[in-house]
Structure 1
Amino acid sequence: MKQFFLVLTGILMLFNIALAAKDEPTFIKADHITYDEAITTYIAKGNCEIKKDNHVLKADEAIYNKTNGIVQLYGNVQIYDNEGDWVKGPKAVINIDTFKGFADNAVCFVAKNHLYIKAKRIIMDDKNHYYASDTTITGCDCPECLSFDTKYAPEWSIHAKNTYIVKNNYVFSYPLWFNIGKVPVFVFPAIEEPLVRKSGFLFPSFGYSKTNGFKYYQPYYWAINKSQDATFTSQYDGKIGYGLNTQYRYYWTDNIKGQWDIELFKDTTPPAGDIKRTRLNLDITQNADFKKYGDLKADIHYLSNKNNLRVINDDNMQLTSNLYTTSKLMYSIQNGPYFLGVNNYFYQDLVAPNNSQTLQKLPEVFMGATNLDIYKKLSLDISSLYSYNYRQDGLRGNVLDISPSFSYPFKIGFVNFLPTAGIHYLFSNYSNGLTGSQSSVVPKLSLTARTSFFKIYDLSSGNRYKHIIAPEVSYTFVPKVKQEFPDFVNTYPQKSALNLTLENTIIKRTVNDKGEADYREIFYNKITQEYRFANYANAPIKPIDPIDTYIFPRYVYSNGPIYEETRISPFPFFNFSSQAYYQWQKHTFTYTADNLNFNFNTFGFSIGYTTAKDLDFNTTSNGITYSVFFYPIKKLYTYISLNRDILDSYFPQKRAGFYYTSDCWGFGLDVFQNAVPQQVGNTYIANKNVGFWITLSLRGIGVFKKR
């Protein structure tokens, strides 16, 4: 009996502790507080504040009955929680223990979505569930509009007969109509605004274009759990067909994540001669980091119809295509300087009628080590690569490439030297029609010398400039070695080349009012050129790039193009960038890409120019891009963008638009014209496609787009 009594006493003590923990204390603060013991009621006046369970209740006057938990609040009532949500009004009655009650002529604010909900009475079922009838919903910050004076109205609002609020979940209203100012515009049967990740239909996209006809995209979002979600988008294009796009994302752990994108489309008007009316595009990315046990990556791409990726070339308006899609499955592991990996590559040929002659690497194994200390500064890098190359028709077989190299860095004065010496051992056997094997040993020597100088310039304004000059000279030698291998072997061509590089960098240092230093690159330039040599009697050079060749006794001297890269930004609002290959003996650029940008507070513009020439110095590409934007008024952004092909004298793309933003809404219109492929007989021509899209954003609700 004594043991039973002790156990019972322990259970009762635990029960009382649990009740005490559940019964959170209530704190009251005010300018003046009185307590009527007969009715167990506190009466507070002036700056009243009551705190309990992460909630704060404020009012000019408060009456709190300690027995039943009822709080009556009068004058400037404010009810806050710890997430920034609140309810305000002139009067409220709440049970502080259960949080049941109501607030009259009240406004509820949902902080996470910045949404205001106004009603003559907001009923609270508990801390998380509210209900109101005849509500006005808006995202506009307008105190006068949130009053009950009908003279004022927000810039936009939704008026609903019934509104349910589930905090940290959703706001649901029905039926409702949408107002701009005081004018009703359209009616909705219902609307649900999620406050967290929640399954449901997202805003649709709809519109019209000349090539696709009427377009309607309807996405549905599925919040599977905290680490997985999926979006299903039904797609309808009136002139070409319909389909379903699926995106599945997962984040199982911090180390395992990925994404699947699946497009299934029924083409109602396929190109002439194309019998595949249903197409499937599959893109999968997967990353799994197992820390010390390695890293697994997958990148899968598959097309059921190779025409899916065919496009019109902007230069000559002929049908072109990516040659392949590439799918990869890769695993690698590293322990200190040692590494090991296995790769698998699958290529889908988009040009050939089938995939029978497409070379696949299944698998490719590599291993080796980097920067192994041998003796003092002498280090060893070694890598080995084995691959099995397979195709249905044509030679296939194995390749082994073992490449050790030694390096010994040293310094003389201000110059850093890095000499390296190594070999490439190649072995391959092959089959399918022909059977055989070859091997070769290709030596490689290189020497790089690099240094840098700098000087700092102090200005009277307190700013500083640092000028850095970094010259580099490198020489690479690979002798001519007989390498008669199948086409799936990457060989090492003969090379005897000297590379000269010079880099100039200017960095500006400024100090702001807080004494913090800010560094900005205002100038960068890099110039490099390659000079090739070969024994004239034994190995005359066959130039690959556009180069000039001079014959001296026993040697061929080849001068390659000069590569130039420049970035200039003397002011925060201005920057210029350039890349170019210049053949100075021919006095011509074989490739250039230049961009000029100005960006001010109220306007800006950019100009881009590109050109390219082939090995015979014939121009193959020549285009210019113009882009201008400006703010005619503070809240209005406008832009114009033009791409012009100088070579063929046409505009492959034109775009223009504007976007207006207010404190709680935005509206934009974008118009475009571009060239799209259209089959005429057995050829393709450029057909002008004109279209537009509209963007409407409502603060607190979301973004509507018409594409």
Structure 2
Amino acid sequence: MRSKKSFKSKWKGALPLPGAVTASGPAVTPLRKKGSRALLACTLLLPLCALSARAEEPARGAAEVAPAAAGAAAPAPATGAAGVGAANGDVVRLSADSLSFDLPTETYEAKGSVRLQRYGASLFADRMTFNTLSQDAVAEGSVRLERGDDVLRGQRIWLNLLSRQGELLNGDLFVKKSNFRLRGDRLQKTGDEDYHLDRGTFTTCEGEHPSWHFEVTDLDVTLNQYATGRHAVFYAGDVPLFYTPYLLFPVLTERSSGLLFPKFGRSTKKGTYFYQPFYWAISPSQDLTVGLDLQSARGVGTGFEYRYIRKEGSQGMLLGNGLYDTNERRFRGEVVQKHLEMLTPRTTFASDIALVSDRAYYRDFGETAGQYNRQLHESSAYLSHRWDRYEALGGLRYVQSLQPSENDPVDNTTTLQRLPLLSFVGTGDRIGPLYFSLDSSAVHFERESGGTGERVELHPRLSYYAKPGGMVDFSLYGGYHQRFYHTFGADTVSTGEGEGEADAGATVGLPLEKIYGGTLRHLLVPQLNYTFVQQKYQEDLPFFDYGDRVVGQSILGWALSNVFTTKRFDDDGTPRYRELMNFTLSQGYQFSGDRRDLLTFVDEKHHWTDLMLEGRLSPWERVTLAVDSRYNPVDNNLSTGNLSLEAKGDEGKEALVAYRYSREHVNYLEAHLGFPIGKPFFATVLARYSLDGGGFLESRYALEYRRQCWSITTAYIDRTGNREVMVNFTLAGIGLVGGGKVF
């Protein structure tokens, strides 16, 4: 075997690339005399797979060596080297202050500012050897492997560029996207994206002394996916807090399967509880979360949520929760399903199903407003097809009442169901100067107790539109609403009998517009409208819903609408529009007939209707004042009043103050605030106070302590029939770790 010294002497200081020699091109820089700084950059034409990123330019003074030209003379390479080099044109660069090559072993030895790179991914070290046969690189001293924004650091590394495997001593891994930091005495690289530690620690906190970290054995990490480990101990600072036999932690934000962190706590309704979820990323278009629910006061249950996305915009979800309630000795649960299927661009199937085992389920297990006080569940499934001016629809609608009534104190036997419902709607077909429209439907009403039957409705209408003088908007319509019934059971009438009413109306509006300074537009629209519905006696008809009692009326109304819009330009000249203010004031005068308002009481003795004000004011982009109120000018009282002021800021900062009023029904104040208290603390307040009852309907006070990689939230919740103190601990990159509830 020849020594390096004889090799250098024979080639007079120039190091040829084994296996690939150029016929022409830049010459390889010779080694300089001992004691002077030498820079040599060699380009290796080998199929290397471990370092992959975008290509970079050679270091200054580096020589490029291309694949062997046809017919060029070259020294005989070691066995297999030429074949490997010729099979792939990938380029690897090796540069250092001092570089030598041993021909018999085909090994490079580099010292001082060593850099081995391929397509922009670089391995840095103080010293390095690289074998062109085995593709082994061994680096020592200030080892750093950079790949995009991710960095691997250590004292010594062995890396095989073909197998993408290696080993790092006293190393750490940093993944920038999730701020994931991994440390271990012996870090094994088992693949291009895979790592293994017999024992190590990881965190998403910054600094040498992280606020929290996990100490795990048998840890496997896959970049862009997740880390799994056994016998994990969670530390807050240097204090161990809890242990879990198995752990899954997301390394990046992409979806990945595995056990999620459990939820645990205590409540007066559930007792001591523990919920362990498991997440399964089935495919890029579907996932499933299942969980085991243990409650000392209620029993053992389970839950799941399945989500999916299909082609052409189709999507859906299926959710279920249930347990055997040991208190009531029966199974209790819920099922929720939503689906949208785009069968064709014009044909759609949609379903929205929600069912619960009993009326008290949400009162016992619901946790949010709108859930624990829910009054009904409505399930529906529809198939529809659209044409240019027509639409046909068929479906089912099932209502589950969650509030007991005098006629139905126990179950859902008297609740009216629509099984099935058919409709056909047409709009805008032109007949000479007129437009024809049709609204028709057929419904079968079903229930276990009480009258049932069918109702068919036909409502054709002719409309006329004009713009006299190019300024006034004028419309006129007339139609006839016919109903047919077939009933049996209670309130039976003969088949085919029904009733019909004529209706008509007209609208006149005058849009007025003015531009101020080229940036503010004011649109003012005064309007008059008249509505007529023929009044007929209907008490001998069956009553399924309010559609069986058409309100006859003759009302003349007026309205005044104001819209202010601002215009501004982005830096690139793109115009942007924002609605500054929009409000409408309206009222009507009733000549004859009746009025129905399901929201508030209506005094039918008054000819004047309520004065209605609806509007929104946004003086700043994130500040909105909204109003929706009705005033009775005859009795000089407020019928309904909804007034709210909302402001939103960054990082969850917000403020909402609202007043809700409906005469003889609702009268309360609502406030929702989210604001920082100093730098690490963030507070939220939610309260609803009854002005007529003199007490809080619901209140929630929460204080969150935020750090760079974790936060802890303590909340007090007080609502009717339930008081709760809740503590949530959240880790950056992992979400909610656990919740403790104390009553």
1:576 pairs with 625, 649, 672, which one?
Answer: 625
1:418 aligns with 2:475: yes
Partner of 1:14: none
Note closer, same or farther for the CA distance 1:338–1:513 as it changes in structure 2 (3 Å cut). closer
Residue in structure 1 matched with residue 565 of structure 2 by the alignment: 507
**Residue matched to 1:705:** 738
Check conservation: 1:445, 1:476, Cα contact below 8 A.
yes
- Using the alignment, how far apart are the partners of 1:468 and 1:93 within structure 2? 74
1:581 CA displacement: 1.0
Work out whether 1:258 is the aligned partner of 2:316: yes
Residue 213 of structure 1 corresponds to 271
Does structure 1 retain, via aligned residues, the 8 Å contact 2:250–2:734? no
SS of 1:285's partner is strand
Q: Deviations over 1:459-516 (max 9, x none)?
A: xxxx933322222322111222454421137243312112222222223344566666
1:547-596: per-residue Cα shift (whole Å, max 9, x none)?
5677xxxxxx7111111123233235643222111112222111111223
From 596, 601, 608, the equivalent of 2:645 is 596
**Is 1:610 aligned with 2:644?**
no
Q: 2:422 & 2:473 partners in 1: Cα distance?
A: 35
Q: Contact 1:134–1:161 at 8 Å: present in 2 too?
A: yes
- Decide whether the 8 Å contact of 2:553 with 2:595 is kept in 1: no
Aligned residue in 2 for 1:446: 505
Partner of 1:361: 418
> CA separation in 1, counterparts of 2:723 and 2:602?
44
Distance in structure 1 (CA, Å) of the matches to 2:214 and 2:373? 49
Name the CA shift for 1:642/1:401 in 2 (closer, same or farther; >3 Å).
Answer: closer
8 Å Cα contact 2:595-2:604 kept in structure 1: no
Alignment partner of 1:468 is 2:523: yes
Give the alignment partner of residue 457 of structure 1, picking from 516, 532, 542.
Answer: 516
Residue number in structure 2 paired with 1:9: none
Alignment of structure 1 residues 303-702 onto 2, 5 Å: 303-309=356-362, 324-350=376-402, 351=404, 352=408, 353-375=410-432, 377-412=433-468, 413-432=470-489, 434-436=492-494, 437-458=496-517, 464-483=519-538, 484-488=540-544, 490-491=547-548, 492-511=550-569, 517-534=575-592, 541=594, 546=601, 558-572=607-621, 574-598=623-647, 605-613=655-663, 619-676=664-721, 689-702=722-735
Q: Match of 1:438, as an amino acid?
A: E
- Give the Å deviation of 1:303: 2.8
Paired residue type of 1:408: Y
Q: Which SS does the other structure have where 2:162 is aligned?
A: coil
Return closer, same or farther for 1:188/1:296 CA change in 2, 3 Å cut-off. closer
1:86 pairs with one of 151, 165, 174: 151
2:332 is aligned, of 275, 279, 284, to 279
For the 8 Å contact 1:604–1:630, the answer to whether it is kept is yes
With structure 1 as the length reference, what TM-score do the two structures score?
0.81
Check 1:187–1:206 CA distance in 2 against 1; reply closer, same or farther (3 A cut).
closer
Higher RCO (CA 8 Å, separation ≥ 6 residues): 1
Structure 2, unmatched stretches of 5+, are 1-82, 366-371
Q: 3-state SS of the aligned residue for 1:67?
A: coil
RMSD: 3.4
Compared with structure 1, are the counterparts of its residues 261 and 87 closer, same or farther at alpha carbon in structure 2 (3 Å cutoff)?
Answer: same
Which of 139, 142, 157 is the aligned partner of 2:213? 157
Structure 2 letter corresponding to 1:606 = L
1:54-93 aligned at under 5 Å gives the runs 55-59=121-125, 61-81=127-147, 84-93=149-158
CA distance in 2, matches of 1:243, 1:163: 31
The answer to whether the Cα contact below 8 Å between 2:275 and 2:294 also exists between their aligned partners in 1 is yes
Q: How far 1:290 sits from its partner (Å)?
A: 0.5
Q: CA separation in 2, counterparts of 1:706 and 1:514? A: 48
CA contact (8 A) 1:548 1:585 kept: no
Judging by fraction of residues, say which structure has more strand: 1
Aligned-residue offset at 1:103: 2.0
Preserved contact between residue 248 and residue 259 of structure 2 (Cα < 8 Å): no
Three-state SS of the structure 1 residue aligned to 2:565 is strand
Moved more, 403-412 or 127-136: 127-136
Partner of 2:610, secondary structure, is strand
SS at match of 2:669: strand
Q: How far did residue 697 of structure 1 move? A: 2.0
Sequence identity, in percent? 23
TM-superposed deviation, 1:56: 3.9
Letter in 2 for 1:647: D
Q: Contact 1:26 / 1:50 at 8 angstroms: preserved in 2?
A: no
Partner of 1:130: 195
Q: Which amino acid aligns with 2:739?
A: K
User: Residue type of the partner of 1:374?
Assistant: I
Mapped partners of 2:189, 2:376: distance in 1: 61
Q: Deviations over 1:638-683 (max 9, x none)?
A: 133332112111112222121122222212111212212xxxxxxx
Label 1:379 to 1:43 Cα distance change in 2 as closer, same or farther (>3 A).
farther
| CA apart distance, 1:598 | 4.9
